[in-house]
Structure 1
Amino acid sequence: MATLASDVASRRIVTLDMIRGIAVMGIFSVNVIAFAMIESAYFNPAAYGGHAGPNLALWATNMILIDGKMRTLFSMLFGASMLLVIERAEASGRSGWWTHFRRMIVLLGFGLAHYYLIWFGDILTLYAVAGLCSYMFRRMSPRALVVSGIIWLVLHELLFTGFLYSQYLADIAAHAPGATQSAIKEWNDALGSFYPSAAEIAKDKARMLGSWISYASGNLRHWDNVIQGVLVFIPDTIGLMLIGMAGYKSGFLTGAWSDASYRRFASWTIPLGIAAGIGVVAIDLSTNFYTIAMMGSFVVLETPFITLMALGYAALIILLTRRGGWLAERIAAAGRCAFTNYLGTSIIASLVFFGWGLGLYGSLSRWQAWLVAPMIWTVMLLWSKPWLERFHYGPFEWAWRSLARGKLQPMWKHGAATVAAAA
């Protein structure tokens, strides 16, 4: 079972790439809001960017169909790909651990550079650390991996529930008659920050519209924020990676199941996930976007349904791309270049919204900012396939591989190089 992917490697690798391509495109659909306006607006649409009319409709649509699902899918694909790389290394006589360790250390470097120099919403640092931890589970059976993954997800939910309860008490203390300054500060420094004042919004806007030097130096001054982020989300990420490893070993993520099996799985997981998403939207609206209720419903109550819905999306993608076609080929190419596309979207979005680029930060409503997403999707689909027709890897994939192996890897495909020379 562990070597299932080697049976029909090329087809199943393409299947993984297609799922990964959809996931990296979907992630930007929600991340674009975090690039365009104050961070609190990502979870609390009432904080900034508009929460009525088309802005509300966009937020609700993303919450029901996209938010959390694409990140979950991407995390599971990371676990599956991790096993594939280890398997190939061992099959070629190299150390699986040493290959994996070097890849994760280099990824950690990319992640830290991304976090401090480009954007605070980096996930690569988290993936590198979670990837190192997940290695010890690689020999488990698919069933054991699923059980272990669920345990990690439940641990994350329990820890987050405890945090939310502490914040609920902090909220009460901060708004009680005669509240102390320390109580008010405790609330405002945590979830109270999701209700930014006009002064805080202006301060944030000035920072993001300043120079790149001031932005990067500010991130470096708060260097420990990235550590806090990893600690908060590592149980969840490890759990999803383990489920992804199970999906790889069982053949679910590699396209080995029958169409009927994928159809049955998608037919109940996706509607169930949609129903849960509608429930979260209803809770958010009924509580007037109370942050503790929003985070509790999304992170704690919806997590099992998000995980199932992401797997349902994987099944649906596999069904829809079985026969290939020009669009499927371009999506698969975007997936093969997912590392470059992920970092590339951050670079492009920073140049669109931040002060060292077009400076649109804080000037667009939610739906206006989101229009950047389909533009970026188009770029992904347009450049990835022609690039891979000439080169073995995407630019950042090549850099990652070269650094992890300690020597420059071949980049040009021989046929493409010959054609270029003849031209």
Structure 2
Amino acid sequence: MADTRIESLDVIRGVAVMGIFSVNVIAFAMIEAAYFNPGAYGGHTGADLALWAVNMILIDGKMRSLFSMLFGASMLLVIERAEASGQSGASVHVRRMLVLLLFGLAHFYFIWFGDILAGYAMVGLIAFLFRRRSPRALAVLGSLFILVSMVQFAGLAWHMAELDKAAHAVGATGAQIRDWNEFGEMFFPGADTIAKDAAVHASFLGRLSYMLVERGAEPFVNFLAFAPETLGLMLIGMAGYKSGFLTGQWALERYRRIAFWGLLIGGIASALVVVVDVQSRFYAPALFAAFFAAAAPFRVLMALGYAALIIILSRGMGPLAQRVAATGRCAFSNYLGTSIIAAGIFYGWGLGLYGDLSRWQAWAVAVPLVWVVMLAWSKPWLEHFSYGPLEWLWRSLSRGELQPMRRPRLSAAAA
């Protein structure tokens, strides 16, 4: 009973990990600034602009929100099962988060700057403190933390606009111009910055040295910047688990209403973000204000809408839902595995396509391939093994001993 799967959680997690790669691929394929700003690199007209807009409206931020909510829900599930078996929930949770932190830091330094695992581990240690709250309290607290994040990023956007104003005022000082230019490089990098970035990704050791020396503290800085929103999403996920929403226990009509209104309202808000970005010509303060501040609650609505829709569509667990669920059960392996595949395609120690493809070309080269790989390997693997390979390693390291890997064979009588 302790190992019984909650299929709805697995399916939602599978969709989320697949969706996340649809937007992450750009951050593997070209300079970091291109992730939010198509004008920075990779093309911002025609098919390139269309791909960015579709990802921004349908996927960007929504799948990460889903993944964060599922992390909070799964965290509670693991703690409950540990305590049901007579173990200390706190001890099991802390060990899991510390091991996850090591995985995340290795992912960041050795493979990709966009790691979310280290932040999840650190925020997860905080989220543990709220585990006994009621679903209503968790939802309220989660919403408040997201509000804190909105205010934080709105303040940053205002600060950026003030820097721009000061740098372009009559009599602007060299320091004021330099301060604005530093922000400008984040969104509109010059030729020297682009060339340096390409050189960094040309070799494994060169990139590793750069990440350790110049960006060594970044995982912890990112934790401070994104902890409020991530914690808010985890708490909402915990509320979704405790209330039965994420486990498929609500009435079908409620799921239909949430799916319809969440996706409609969230989709309209996301489309407005696209309009603001394009009309402002991807002006940095506008990007920050629209995506990180104004759109934050609508991302949550859309994520909940997606969760409801996925639960509706996966009822009955047909062949496709089973494969997506297996992808979700191996989400840890799939998340890190996709990073390795993408790095092998784009970085210099692999195929070396970094910076050579436009936005839509990079997506077309990597995303369908990775999705097919996820769906193809996960289900057959789980027919023979109890966990994904990295799930098994995480579990073994957390428990301090190798865990049984192969699924037990059914006896002839049991079969």
TM class by shorter chain equals over 0.9
The 8 Å contact of residues 160 and 180 in structure 2, kept in 1 or not, is answered as yes
SS class of match (1:414):
coil
Q: Deviations over 1:299-333 (max 9, x none)?
A: 11111111010000000000000011111110000
Aligned to 1:30: 23
Aligned to 2:399: 405
Alignment of 1:42-61 (within 5 A): 42-61=35-54
Greater shift, 183-192 or 80-89, is seen at 183-192
The 8 Å contact of residues 334 and 385 in structure 1, kept in 2 or not, is answered as yes
1:341 aligns with 2:338: no
Aligned to 1:219: 211
Q: For 1:72 and 1:361, locate their aligned partners in 2 and report how far apart those are by CA, in whole Å.
A: 28
1:41 aligns with 2:41: no
Aligned to 1:324: 317
Q: For 1:375 and 1:172, locate their aligned partners in 2 and report how far apart those are by CA, in whole Å.
A: 45
1:127 aligns with 2:126: no
Aligned to 1:77: 70
Q: For 1:229 and 1:136, locate their aligned partners in 2 and report how far apart those are by CA, in whole Å.
A: 21
Q: For 2:73 and 2:252, locate their aligned partners in 1 and report how far apart those are by CA, in whole Å.
A: 21
User: Which of the numbers 227, 233, 237 marks the counterpart of 1:244?
Assistant: 237
Matched-pair identity in %? 60
Greater shift, 168-177 or 266-275, is seen at 168-177
Greater shift, 167-176 or 239-248, is seen at 167-176
The 8 Å contact of residues 339 and 397 in structure 1, kept in 2 or not, is answered as yes
Shift of 1:9: 8.2
* Unpaired stretches in structure 1, ≥5 consecutive residues: 1-5, 419-423
The 8 Å contact of residues 99 and 398 in structure 2, kept in 1 or not, is answered as yes
Aligned to 2:134: 141
The 8 Å contact of residues 154 and 288 in structure 2, kept in 1 or not, is answered as no
1:387 aligns with 2:381: yes
The 8 Å contact of residues 201 and 354 in structure 2, kept in 1 or not, is answered as yes
Alignment-mate amino acid for residue 262 of structure 2: T
SS class of match (1:190):
helix
The 8 Å contact of residues 167 and 191 in structure 1, kept in 2 or not, is answered as no
Question: Once superposed, what is the RMSD of the aligned Cα atoms?
Answer: 1.6
Alignment of 1:180-195 (within 5 A): 180-195=173-188
1:301 aligns with 2:294: yes
SS class of match (1:415):
coil
SS class of match (2:409):
helix
User: Which of the numbers 161, 165, 168 marks the counterpart of 2:154?
Assistant: 161
Shift of 1:152: 0.4
1:109 aligns with 2:117: no
**Alpha carbons of 1:382 and 1:192: their partners in 2 closer, same or farther (altered >3 Å)?**
same
How high is the TM-score relative to the length of structure 1? 0.94
The 8 Å contact of residues 352 and 358 in structure 1, kept in 2 or not, is answered as yes
Shift of 1:398: 0.4
Q: For 1:193 and 1:328, locate their aligned partners in 2 and report how far apart those are by CA, in whole Å.
A: 40
Shift of 1:192: 4.0
* Unpaired stretches in structure 2, ≥5 consecutive residues: none
Alignment-mate amino acid for residue 199 of structure 1: D
Q: For 2:289 and 2:258, locate their aligned partners in 1 and report how far apart those are by CA, in whole Å.
A: 27
Q: For 2:225 and 2:200, locate their aligned partners in 1 and report how far apart those are by CA, in whole Å.
A: 25
Q: Deviations over 1:352-374 (max 9, x none)?
A: 00010000000000000111112
SS class of match (1:84):
helix
Alignment-mate amino acid for residue 404 of structure 1: S
Would you say how many aligned residue pairs link Structure 1 and Structure 2?
410
Greater shift, 117-126 or 162-171, is seen at 162-171
Alignment of 1:165-180 (within 5 A): 165-180=158-173
The 8 Å contact of residues 207 and 215 in structure 1, kept in 2 or not, is answered as yes
Q: For 2:299 and 2:316, locate their aligned partners in 1 and report how far apart those are by CA, in whole Å.
A: 27
Shift of 1:294: 1.5
Q: For 2:373 and 2:184, locate their aligned partners in 1 and report how far apart those are by CA, in whole Å.
A: 36
SS class of match (2:315):
coil
Q: For 1:279 and 1:85, locate their aligned partners in 2 and report how far apart those are by CA, in whole Å.
A: 39
Shift of 1:200: 1.3
Shift of 1:190: 3.0
SS class of match (1:17):
helix
Shift of 1:178: 4.1
Alignment-mate amino acid for residue 218 of structure 1: Y
Shift of 1:240: 0.2
Aligned to 2:369: 375
The 8 Å contact of residues 110 and 124 in structure 1, kept in 2 or not, is answered as yes
Aligned to 1:3: none
Alignment-mate amino acid for residue 264 of structure 1: R
